[in-house]
Amino acid sequence: MQDGKVIYGPVPALGGRKGNATPTGMFRVLSKEKMHLSREFDNAPMPNSVFFYPGDAFHTGSLSTPSHGCIHLSSTASLKFFNTLQIGQAVQILP
């Protein structure tokens, strides 16, 4: 969001599996990493990670297999989010 307006999205996405729900609401971008490796999940690659909540990020991932709380996006959408969103910028996560 920018000036209260959506600047990109909604896009196809997949959140957390049962027992690992993705937090919803308004958040701010906390950090970004071009290729984050998840220490919690055997160094699983998380390309184009945009963290909006401690431990949870938008990143390239499967649109058919739910995550452990992150939001999986297509590579195109995750790259757009990574390149467009700035640290501190507001993001909205809908259920």
Catalytically active residues, by annotation: 59, 70
Q: Which residues contact 55 (CB under 8 A, 6 or more apart)?
A: 40, 69
| Strands in 21-88 per DSSP E | 25-28, 31-38, 44-53, 56-60, 71-73
Secondary structure (3-state) at 2: strand
Cis peptide bond prior to 10, omega within 30° of 0: yes
